[in-house]
Amino acid sequence: MAQVIQTSPRPMTGEEYLESLRDGRKVFFRGEWVEDVTTHPAFRNAARTVARLYDALHSPETREILTKVDRQGILTHKFFAPAYSAEDLKEAAQAIAVWQRMSFGWMGRTPEYKAAFMATLGADPDYYAPFGETARRWYREYASRVLFMNHVIVDPPIDRNRPPSEVRDVYIHVVKETDGGIIVSGAKQVATASALTHGTFVGVNSGSAARLQEGRDEDVALVFFVRMDNPRQYLISRASYELDAESPFDHPLSSRFDENDAFLVLDEAFIPWEDVLIYRDVAKCKRFYADSGFFNRFNLQTTIRFMIKLEFMIGLLQKGLECNGTADFRGNQVMVGELVALRHLLWAIVTAMVSDPEPSLGGSVVPRLEYAAAARVYTNFAWDRIRQIYERILGGAPIINVSSYRDFLNPEVRPLLDRYLRGTGMSAVERSKLYKLVWDAVYSEFGGRHGLYELNYAGNHEQKYLDPLQWAERRGFMQQWKALVDECLSQYDLDGWRDATWVWETNGRER
């Protein structure tokens, strides 16, 4: 990662970003070490997609919307800096939207995702005492270069019925403490887009932290950073949808927006003290996830990202119906209208998150917790409904297509395709292109992975509902809501109304 840091403290360009990935990182794919992810066909187009985001930071058309100078004098992306007002949050939301529209909402873990946490380090670094200087220095480095961080905060789904301290053969834990830092080993998931990042944030999510007990789990109560050139960090990637994409015509999304997920292993990796945030502190591991404001902020990014993706899916569905000649069918309009209403609802929550924030560390503000929790629930289950609507009103239309763009290049079959595969007011090539996009979005391996991602990226299906309930109890909302019921119950009894406002008549007599 050394080549990322330059004497000129400014955001990287796209070219500088690509060069920064050539640092000897250990990415393994199909049994081989990928020495340069920027040129390997499994990663290169996704890397170039991210590079376009960095170029936008310098483009005259977008740089004013995307960047600002923070309170420390650092020129950075607006969401990479702490927010201190509703206006700051509004501008950050606009910056998120500009970046997300460049991939139509199909890349969830672009650089601004982890900015949801990293920016909080600049607001109150001393929250992480005795490692306050770690937070302070990482924020300066991160914000000034607009670094791309991945994160791993989930333990592998192994022996979860046992205490974390008893799964040391798998879970990340301290092996040894030295004068210069710590030696750690273990695995974490899911390192989404990690092959294209500048560093790994290793932490504990709310579900994992809830299982930690003081006096037992200190060796796994850790939060730290790993530089990508750490020789003992291994990223073992899943299959690449980008690699399998035959052409942009056949795979317009997966050929450039595949955020390859990886299984991350640290095998006696040395982590210097200057990269440690929390060390063997169970209480702080339990608190920091909520205290930092990360939860509030990441849901702002994910909701905006999902809404742009939803807008894309609404437009794609409407074009598919028009191609079929069924856009005016009343039942189809009803279902498209449902998605339009969902889009409006979630944008309204975004508006609430930025216009009615709550105080956070160091005098900063973050989106209100209640709004963030609501957005988390409704964005996570929405993809299943989107897919269901596609399947109901597009029917079998997405199946009827050519095997490859090459079919249109065959002079014998081309006239048949032009006649029988055309759409309503649309040529066969245009129809095929449209439905290839539908297939890649909903039914391909890439589309299937997105269905899994949308449902699980923010936690397990139960935790998403348990958190709002627990927070409502902690913040006194449940008591207020029960008090409403108690007030109603207090207004009557067996003898009738206890308040003279109302009249009760029985057997013709007023009581």
The annotated binding site for FAD is made up of: 151-153, 192
Residue 288 has which token pair?
């920091």
Distance CA 279, CA 167 (A): 18
The Cα–Cα gap between 434 and 249 comes to 9
Paired tokens of 435: 């439905």
User: Which residue ranges are tagged as binding site?
Assistant: 151-153, 192
For residue 220, whether the previous peptide bond is cis, meaning omega lies within 30 degrees of 0, is: no
Measured between alpha carbons, how far is residue 3 from residues 17, 22, 115 in Å?
10, 9, 21
Give the tokens for residue 438: 């539908």
The enclosing H or E element of 267 equals: strand 262-272
Distance CA 196, CA 42 (A): 11
Residue 325 structure tokens: 């000649």
Q: Could you give the 3-state DSSP secondary structure of residue 287?
A: helix
The residues, any chain, with a CB within 8 Å of residue 290's CB and separated by 6 or more, are 206
CA 116-122-123 angle, to 5 degrees, is: 90
Neighbours of 7 (CB within 10 A): 4
State residue 107 phi and psi, 5-degree precision. -115, 110
